[in-house]
Amino acid sequence: MARLTDNALHVLERRYLLRDERGAVVETPGALFRRVARAVAAAEPPAERDRAAERFEARMSALEFLPNSPTLMNAGRAHGQLAACFVLPVEDDLAAIFDALKWAALIHQSGGGTGFAFSRLRPRGDVVKTTHGVASGPVSFMRVYDAATEIIKQGGVRRGANMAVLSAEHPDILEFVDAKRSHGLENFNLSVAAPDALFRAASRGDPWPLRHPRGGIVRNIDPRALLARIADSAWASGEPGLVFLDRVEAANPTPDLGHFEAVNPCGEQPLLPFEACTLGSVNLACFERSGRVDWDGLGACVRDGVRFLDDVLDVNVWPLPQIAEISHRNRKVGLGVMGWADLLVRLGIPYDSPDALAKADEVMGFVTREAHAASEALARERGAFPGFPTSALAHAGRPRRNATVTTIAPTGTLALIAGCSSGIEPLFALAYVRRALDDSELREEHPLVAEALRAAGADAALAAVRAAGRARGVPGVPPAVARLFATAHDVAPEAHVRMQAAFQRHTDNGVSKTINLPRSAAVDDVARAYALAYELGCKGITVYRDGSRERQVLTSGATRNGEECPQCASPLSRTGGCMTCARCGWASCETTE
């Protein structure tokens, strides 16, 4: 079994390992991986179960592959809900609105996160014919959902997380865009569903119609002013992001069932109403050998990962019968990657270089080809997903077991357990301190920093790098070392977007990526990042300007304004849009892993 860091052990003990009736931990990390492997392998034919369980356990124990957090928490336990991502429908009816809230509560309790499209709800001030009252609008109901989510903690240790999506054509779009400028909605991420027509109208200077959900134009606004308002709010608060819904819909594998309206809380997983997806990530840092990618080893891990996630669909205890039905019909899985920044360091490639973009194309192209081939092999062995004959994939004539196969998730806590960089994000910091459960301070440092400085004859600079949390701009650090060890705020926003686009070109679903901007960035910088993401074919975008929130996350010497954990008041760490607490294990984005 691979060595786990002190921080990984603390988080596993706090959130994942089994406890007895008195709350004492009664499971080791190795036993956790064995429990999960055996529970998932129960989906295999009897003659294959033991071998499959051994293979799954070996992958997790080596930290080469980890499934999303609900699988690690719940596999082999009575409730057994293993999926992370769900989308629930919200219809324009009071009973339906609160049905969706009830369903969300059950999902949050089981460890999942929920996405909602509020675009069907009538706008604020609209007359309700049945009561002759006045509608309060989507944002008011979002606040009700937010208050309920605050009360229901997932599985007793995980806070609920939601995504609210509203069409750019909705009459309440401006209220939605500004909703995170004030306090509240702490358990929601917000995204505007921006169609291609919005960008065309802005380019031509045409008016943008705001339409009542039941038909008819309410009024026209300036599309350029709307996009500017979105950028200004994102500059101020990090919200909302954009979902390029036409681009998302163009990749819909089952348009015969309906159209996409919403995504999961971190935005990388578009789903139909009641759909769910199981996620897992391959640790790319494990597949470097002598300065090269171990393609054979990586391919074998990808194949095991796809098989594991497909098995999860069959052993899962779904929270609602509607979710079970469509999830079994489409069998969507999302295999992604983490440790990308670590792999680049090991290959000697700076994150913000053309070579890194070329390597992203090569690596993710390979991962997706292997994943698709694995799903096709499973289809020959077990049958294609039931919806395949009427799906868009049927035209290709190559049956797959799964309607979608690849997704890039943020992997906040999974990366902490694996001891690698999160998702496809750059390194957040080269050295930083976490407070542990016993109030001790645990120093984390990238394992190759000291080695690189020593090889360059610059050992004396290590103390300054540790204090700053970065290498660039630190006196005494050789240019080549500084260039290689790029951190999130060293990387220009354009380079962040281009990296996201490179991975998106080879990903079935979406890509979770935070576009970090410096504190000094202007609103126009946000707008340019949005425009570039649209131009390069991304399916969505999230920006975060340093210091844009009232309480900023503290993780290194480069960032000095602290944000406290809501459970234990310890400093939080932010990586790729995910906030995690090493002391008590709280995390804000775990529902998408």
- Overall domain count for the chain: 1
User: Does residue 208 lie in a domain region?
Assistant: yes
Q: CB-hemisphere CA count at 13 Å for 14? A: 23
Count, in order, helices (H) and strands (E) of the chain.
20, 24
Q: What is the DSSP letter of 425?
A: P
Burial of 24 (0-12, 13-18, 19+ CB in 10 A): exposed
Backbone angles phi and psi of 364, in degrees to 5: -70, -30
pLDDT for 262 equals 97
Number of neighbouring beta carbons within 10 Å of residue 221: 17
pTM value?
0.92
Amino acid at 154: Q
Q: How confident is the model at residue 127 (pLDDT cuts 50, 70, 90)?
A: confident
Residue with more model confidence, 440 or 135: 135
Specify the residue for token string 């051994």: 54
Residue 586: is its pLDDT beyond 70? no
pLDDT for 6 equals 85
74-111 pLDDT tens trace: 999 988 999 999 999 999 999 999 999 999 999 998 88
Residue with more model confidence, 276 or 581: 276
Average pLDDT of the segment spanning 347-357: 98
Q: What is the DSSP letter of 581?
A: -
User: Does residue 226 lie in a domain region?
Assistant: yes
Q: How confident is the model at residue 579 (pLDDT cuts 50, 70, 90)?
A: low
User: Does residue 128 lie in a domain region?
Assistant: yes
pLDDT for 436 equals 43
pLDDT for 79 equals 84
Return d(Cα 66, Cα 532) in angstroms, integer: 32
Residue 201: is its pLDDT beyond 60? yes
15-47 pLDDT tens trace: 899 999 999 999 999 999 999 999 999 999 999
Range of the domain at 175: 85-263
Q: How confident is the model at residue 225 (pLDDT cuts 50, 70, 90)?
A: very high
User: Does residue 342 lie in a domain region?
Assistant: no
CATH of the domain at 102: 3.20.70.20
SS3 (DSSP) at 444? strand
The residues assigned a catalytic role are: 264, 266, 268
pLDDT for 582 equals 41
* Rounded CA Rg of the chain: 23
Return d(Cα 287, Cα 285) in angstroms, integer: 6
Range from 198-207, 224-233, 430-439 carrying the lowest mean pLDDT: 430-439
302-342 pLDDT tens trace: 999 999 999 999 999 999 999 999 999 999 999 999 999 99
User: Does residue 118 lie in a domain region?
Assistant: yes
User: Does residue 44 lie in a domain region?
Assistant: no
Q: How confident is the model at residue 160 (pLDDT cuts 50, 70, 90)?
A: confident
Residue 156: is its pLDDT beyond 80? no
Q: How confident is the model at residue 183 (pLDDT cuts 50, 70, 90)?
A: confident
Average pLDDT of the segment spanning 543-556: 64
Contact 186, 192 (CB under 8 A): no
Range from 48-57, 431-440, 517-526, 581-590 carrying the lowest mean pLDDT: 581-590
pLDDT for 396 equals 85
Burial of 495 (0-12, 13-18, 19+ CB in 10 A): buried
Specify the residue for token string 């609210």: 164
- Output the average pLDDT for the chain: 90
User: Does residue 143 lie in a domain region?
Assistant: yes
Contact 304, 66 (CB under 8 A): no
Distance of CA 587 to the CA centre of its chain: 12
**Which of 296, 364, 310 has the alpha carbon at shortest distance from 336?**
364
Return d(Cα 145, Cα 411) in angstroms, integer: 25
Average pLDDT of the segment spanning 457-486: 96
Question: 116 forms bridges with which residues in the sheet?
Answer: 88, 164
Portion of the chain with pLDDT greater than 70, in percent: 89
Question: 125 forms bridges with which residues in the sheet?
Answer: none
Average pLDDT of the segment spanning 397-416: 95
pLDDT for 555 equals 39
Q: How confident is the model at residue 288 (pLDDT cuts 50, 70, 90)?
A: very high
User: Does residue 61 lie in a domain region?
Assistant: no
Return d(Cα 332, Cα 345) in angstroms, integer: 32
Average pLDDT of the segment spanning 213-228: 97
Question: 400 forms bridges with which residues in the sheet?
Answer: none
Average pLDDT of the segment spanning 241-254: 97
Number of neighbouring beta carbons within 10 Å of residue 294: 14
Residue 351: is its pLDDT beyond 90? yes
